[in-house]
Amino acid sequence: MSTHDHDHDHDDDHHHGAPPSPMAERVKKLETLLVEKGYVDPAALDVFIDTYENKVGPRNGAHVVAHAWRDEEFKAWLLEDATAAIASLGYSGRQGEHMKVVENKPGLHNLIVCTLCSCYPWSVLGLPPVWYKSAPYRSRAVIDPRGVLAEFGLTLPDDTEIRVWDSTAELRYLVLPQRPDGTKGWSEMALAQLVTRDSMIGTGLAIQPGGL
């Protein structure tokens, strides 16, 4: 069973499919010029992008999740007012001004998508992965979420409800994955190591102890 939630309608402010901003165009031209003149190694640039896409950015979100796992009061605040709770840990800014956190529970799994472009909470997840921005993911996540999850290697029980949340320019989502069993008494730092970017999008689960 799956459902598709729209807390806010996409509207003209979303600018789906709009051309790159003047700043984005300038950045791209500068990047091209630096590469052509040999000032920047394309391979090094790729490493830099990978670092912010997969390591630095998602560590912010992992901290948020681990803190919620250890602190029930913070977790309640996070689920009620995610924007304020996340900001209290020092994570805010562009692409993360308005946040909503949705919690995975037994029998319920949440999946995040932006059906018309690629709205994404940069402040807690870093740069969006290429697949998140792809048309196949954006369309199929709503039509066949169970099939999409299977392609990511995540097969859920048939009776698990899959709830799809559609991000907008006004509101972005973060999944609070279920805390793995066997982690009672773990430090926040240790718990954060179990939280992956994909588990906070919903295309994966938190890492089980011993799976690091």
Q: What letter would DSSP give residue 12?
A: G
132 neighbors 109 (Cβ within 8 angstroms): no
User: Quick one: which of 61, 121, 65 has its CA closest to 94?
Assistant: 121
Straight-line distance from the first to the last Cα atom of the chain, in angstroms, rounded to the nearest whole number: 31
Indicate which residue of 2, 92, 117, 139 is catalytic. Answer: 117
Is residue 123 annotated as part of the catalytic site, yes or no? Answer: no
Active site residue 118: yes
Residues 117 and 20: beta-carbon distance below 8 Å: no
Number of Cβ within 10 Å of residue 28's Cβ equals 11
CA atoms 207, 208, 211, 212: torsion sign? positive
Known active-site residue 134: no
> Binding site for Fe(3+): what residues are annotated?
114, 117-119
Q: Annotated binding residues, as ranges?
A: 114, 117-119
Contact 127/53 with Cβ under 8 angstroms?
A: yes
| CA–centroid distance for 54 within its chain | 11
Active site residue 199: no
Look at residue 36 and give its three-state secondary structure: helix
Report the alpha-carbon angle 15-55-66, nearest 5. Answer: 95
Q: Which of 119, 123, 167, 199 is catalytic?
A: 119
Active site residues: 114, 117-119
